[in-house]
Structure 1
């Protein structure tokens, strides 16, 4: 007999070891335990994935909101960047209007001056209008505290109470935002 044959016979004739049976049983239990552990680990990973996904969506939404706010800020800066300059130029318009009101239009010698002031005033007002600066002259309209500043209240039975009956100084808006309120006289009940 050869050595090879001897080992083959020995492998086939040896009775099974009880320790091997215990090992196989332990492996089966271990596979059951490892399946439960793997399922628990899978559930933990799934929860972590959902949490990370939610955080990523929130971060994306925050970035989009920040971008939108920045765009709005830039837009407002473009729209209302002229506000200080407009405030500085409005007294010039007021002075031109006062000059037109004070000058004697019946005097022929001053007709050229009157025409020059009128053209200057018109070109000035048109330039302001091109930049969305709109005059607020509310005579005859109801008093609006968002646009008007009441200088005084006068009893007047001819008009309804809280109606603007005189405007001392025009107000102005820039792109719909109030730059200067109109200074007005308001009627009140007698």
Structure 2
């Protein structure tokens, strides 16, 4: 009787090789998980970078808006400095000795000019414009413009000895540097004359 092929015993070689397919499937799964994790990490990194860029943009926009509000009157304030200078020149043109003996009408005029100057400076300050008066301060090239340097027996070297024209700041920016003279220190003492013969001898020997 012929044996049915379906009833044949399994080939030992075939039976041994069949279970070895499982590790291949597991390796493929781990590789897929690693790829997905890498994509997730990449997307997370891109998201964090985008959020950081958006935060930087928000801060920069807020700063630009703040600067626009603070410095919107820059051109107008710079034009007004000429009026402030003229008021100061008018007051400085009257010597102190003349103010004592001046007539009542002229005294009232001087007081009116002083009041106008104070009111103008207060108005500028309300809009963030402050006067720079560096008399006696250390010379700062960021705030001052040196017009000359001269010996000064009272003011130490490197300090502002004279303010030629006041400066102004708007916010943290210089609207106009102060024009100043800088002290070169006390004048050097005169050198006593020396003996031209140089031999230290005296006459009469």
- Range into which the TM-score falls when normalised by the shorter chain: 0.7 to 0.9
Partner of 1:4: none
Cα shift at 1:132 = 2.2
Q: Distance in 1 between matches of 2:26 and 2:17?
A: 15
1:48-104, Cα deviation, whole Å (9 max, x unpaired):
111111111111111111111111111111112222211111111011111122246
Please name the residue that 1:81 is paired with: 72
Q: What TM-score comes out, normalization by structure 1 length?
A: 0.82
Secondary structure of the 1:53 match is helix
SS of the residue corresponding to residue 146 of structure 1 reads coil
Matches within 5 A, 1:62-81: 62-81=53-72
2:89 matches 1:93: no
CA pair 78-177 structure 1, distance change in 2 beyond 3 A: same
Deviations 1:124-162 (A, max 9, x none): 111111122111111122211111111011112332111
Superposition pairs of residues 93-172 of structure 1, within 5 angstroms = 93-103=84-94, 105=99, 106-172=102-168
Specify the alignment match of 1:177 in structure 2.
173
RMSD across aligned C-alpha pairs, in angstroms? 2.2
The correspondence for 2:7, drawn from 15, 33, 37, is 15
Distance 1:86 1:17, change over 3 A: farther
Q: Which runs of 4+ in 1 moved over 4 A?
A: 21-25
Gaps of 5+ in 2: 1-5, 188-205
CA gap of 1:63–1:114, structure 2 versus 1, over 3 A, is same
Task: Find the aligned partners of 1:93 and 1:34 in 2 and give their Cα distance.
Answer: 87
Q: List aligned pairs for 1:24-35, cutoff 5 A.
A: 25-26=17-18, 28-35=19-26
Instruction: Provide closer, same or farther for how the CA distance between residues 24 and 75 of structure 1 changes in structure 2, counting only shifts above 3 A.
Output: farther
Is the helix fraction higher in 1 or 2? Answer: 1
Aligned partner of residue 168 in structure 1, secondary structure: strand
1:25, distance to aligned residue in structure 2 (A): 5.0
- Number of the residue aligned with 1:47: 38
Q: How far apart, in 2, do the equivalents of 1:17 and 1:86 lie? A: 105
Unpaired segments ≥5 residues, structure 1? 1-13
TM-score (structure 2 length as normaliser): 0.77
Shift in Å, 1:22:
4.2
